[in-house]
Structure formats: structure tokens, C-alpha cells
């Protein structure tokens, strides 16, 4: 059986994006770079697609070819060294789809996370029991061992979450009323939302039914923000495939959607009040 290929880390994807942008700013084709550096064109393609980690001497050759300053070279070399470090995700990634593993890597590196959810509680705020009921919800034939692997990964995401990476979670009111896993599990989850919403690094806001039609009704998404706006990523999970959107046009569109959702959502205090009411009425 072929060995499973690990998904690229967020750091490796950032390095690949930087190298691709540097080459384009230098107005060089891959063929021209290959000719001037003796780096195979196929290798260069794989490096720029985050399918391979460049060796240090290869990275230096590329940065010299792109006339990158010494200070910027030091930053990118440091990024390469960090990209080579084995993370908890790489150790525990068996059983996880590559795209989901890639998303977790991005999440770990993000400066801020904006998550809109129309049907489920955001993964970073889920209880273990809720996650165990929610994960196979869209695929009842998912093997039990795969479910447990994904539950463990979700709990690890929460344990490894750096509080300096602030989460703004916007949920449709339907999330509070949809009973996932039974009434007991749902009561525990609602209490967890109450507790988490008091944390300084969590902002929980809700779009009430009374708001009517809103742009989030087309589907859930996550906007991951990094130190440089050009590195931001939108993640969309679907039944068919998980999507990463990185183009300027896509980012502008989803930033606009996020702004509209924030304008329509009630305040964090009003959200907590509603969660408390739903919790009080839960049986």
C-alpha cells in the first residue's frame, strides 16, 4: 500500500505563496528561473504548489535569482525551518482527509479566525459529545474508527488553540435550536457556549430568525486572517470537497459577506441572553 502523503502545513503553503509572488514580481517564468539556477522546472512547480519543501540551498538560489534583500531572505529561511518542524497534527493526521488536515494547519497559524455557521456549533466551541454526534451527521456510514479519529483531532485543535488567535463566531439562530445528539448533549453544548462566550478571545454573535434572508444562508465558511492580508484564506467544507479560496476576488467577496453578517448579527450580550433562554427551556 502506498504511504499516505501528509498535507502541506500552513507554513509551507505560505512559503510557496511567497516564492510564487516573488517570481512573478521579478517577471520571470519558471523556464527562465530553471535556466538561471539549474533548478528543475518540475521541482520549481512542486515547490510553488507546496507539494515539496525546498532544500536550504535551493531556497537561497531562488531568493538570489529574485533579488530579495538579506533581511527578507532571513525571514523566509526561518519560515522554511519552521515548516520542517513536526507538529501535533502531522503526528495525529492518520485518518484525516488531507484537506481537513491542511485546514487545521492554517487554523493553528492564523492571527484571527472568523467562522460563520448555519447548522452546527463551530468546531472550536464544540463539546466532545456534540462533535461525536455532529461529525457523522452528513455521512451515517462513516466508520466508527474514522469518527473517533476526527473527534480526537477536533479536541486536539481546541487544546492546541492559541488564545492570541481570536475567534469571532457568527451563528444562525437555527444552530441553537437544532438538537444534535439528544437533549442532554445539547444542554451541555449550550452551557459550553455560555462559558466560552465569556472568554476574552471569543466573540459569539447570532443572526436571529427575525433578520430574514441573509448572505450566510448560502453556506458556512471560515475566513482565516494572517499577518499579511495577502495570505488570508477562506475555507469552505462541502459534501463533495473542501475548498481553499485565496484569490483577491474571492477574499473581497467573502470579506463583504462577513461585514454584512456582522451588521445583521445581534450583540454578544444579546446572543448570550438568547442562548440562556434556549438553555433554560431545553428539556
> Would you kindly state where each structural domain of the chain is located, as residue ranges?
10-85, 97-281
Residue 227 pairs with which residues in a beta bridge?
Answer: none
pLDDT value of position 11: 74
Whether the pLDDT of residue 265 is over 80: the answer is yes
How much of the chain, in percent, has pLDDT values that exceed 90?
63
Candidate from 30-34, 44-48, 179-183, 227-231 with smallest mean pLDDT: 227-231
Q: Which CATH architecture does the domain made up of 97-281 adopt? A: 2-Layer Sandwich (3.30)
CB 115 within 8 A of CB 126: no
Tell me what the mean pLDDT of segment 217-223 comes to.
Answer: 95
Whether the pLDDT of residue 87 is over 90: the answer is no
Tell me what the mean pLDDT of segment 262-272 comes to.
Answer: 97
| Among 223, 232, 107, 198, residue whose Cα is nearest residue 161 | 107
Q: Mapping DSSP to helix (H, G, I), strand (E, B) and coil, where does residue 67 land?
A: coil
In this structure, what are the phi and psi dihedrals at residue 40, rounded to the nearest 5 degrees? -55, 135
Whether the pLDDT of residue 44 is over 50: the answer is yes
Give the CA diameter of the chain: 71
Cβ neighbours, 10 Å, residue 15: 24
Q: CA-to-CA distance for 52 and 65, rounded, in angstroms?
A: 19
pLDDT tens, 196-207?
A: 999 999 999 999
pLDDT value of position 170: 98
Q: pTM for the whole thing?
A: 0.75
Q: Which CATH architecture does the domain made up of 10-85 adopt? A: Orthogonal Bundle (1.10)
pLDDT tens, 55-66?
A: 999 999 999 999
pLDDT tens, 90-139?
A: 444 555 676 777 788 788 878 999 999 999 999 999 999 999 999 987 67
The backbone region for 164, taken as left when phi is positive above 0, alpha when psi lies in -120 to 50, beta otherwise, is: alpha
Tell me what the mean pLDDT of segment 76-96 comes to.
Answer: 64
Question: How much is the mean pLDDT over the chain?
Answer: 88
pLDDT value of position 23: 94
User: Is the fold of 10-85 the same as that of 97-281?
Assistant: no
Amino acid at each position: 500500500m502506498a504511504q499516505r502523503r501528509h498535507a502541506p502545513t500552513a507554513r509551507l503553503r505560505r512559503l510557496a505563496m511567497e516564492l510564487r509572488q516573488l517570481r512573478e514580481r521579478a517577471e520571470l517564468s519558471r523556464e527562465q528561473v530553471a535556466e538561471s539556477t539549474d533548478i528543475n522546472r518540475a521541482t520549481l512547480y512542486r515547490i510553488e504548489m507546496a507539494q515539496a519543501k525546498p532544500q536550504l540551498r535551493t531556497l537561497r538560489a531562488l531568493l538570489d535569482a529574485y533579488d530579495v534583500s538579506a533581511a527578507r531572505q532571513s525571514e523566509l529561511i526561518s519560515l522554511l525551518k519552521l515548516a520542517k518542524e513536526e507538529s501535533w497534527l502531522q503526528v495525529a493526521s492518520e485518518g484525516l482527509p488531507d484537506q481537513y488536515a491542511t485546514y487545521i494547519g492554517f487554523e493553528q497559524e492564523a492571527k484571527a479566525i472568523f467562522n460563520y455557521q448555519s447548522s452546527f456549533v463551530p468546531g472550536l466551541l464544540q463539546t466532545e459529545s456534540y462533535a461525536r454526534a455532529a461529525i457523522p451527521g452528513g455521512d451515517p456510514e462513516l466508520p466508527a474508527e474514522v469518527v473517533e479519529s476526527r473527534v480526537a483531532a477536533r479536541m486536539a485543535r481546541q487544546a492546541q488553540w492559541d488564545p492570541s488567535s481570536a475567534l469571532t463566531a457568527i451563528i444562525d439562530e437555527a444552530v441553537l435550536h437544532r438538537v444534535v445528539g439528544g437533549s442532554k448533549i445539547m444542554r451541555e453544548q449550550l452551557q459550553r457556549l455560555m462559558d466560552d462566550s465569556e472568554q476574552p478571545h471569543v466573540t459569539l454573535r447570532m443572526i436571529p430568525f427575525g433578520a430574514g434572508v441573509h448572505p450566510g444562508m448560502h453556506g458556512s465558511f471560515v475566513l482565516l486572517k494572517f499577518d499579511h492580508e495577502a495570505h488570508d484564506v477562506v475555507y469552505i467544507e462541502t459534501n463533495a470537497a473542501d475548498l481553499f479560496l485565496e484569490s483577491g476576488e474571492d477574499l473581497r467577496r467573502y470579506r463583504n459577506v462577513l461585514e454584512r453578517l456582522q451588521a445583521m448579527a445581534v450583540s454578544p450580550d444579546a446572543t448570550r441572553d438568547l442562548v440562556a433562554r434556549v438553555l433554560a427551556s431545553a428539556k
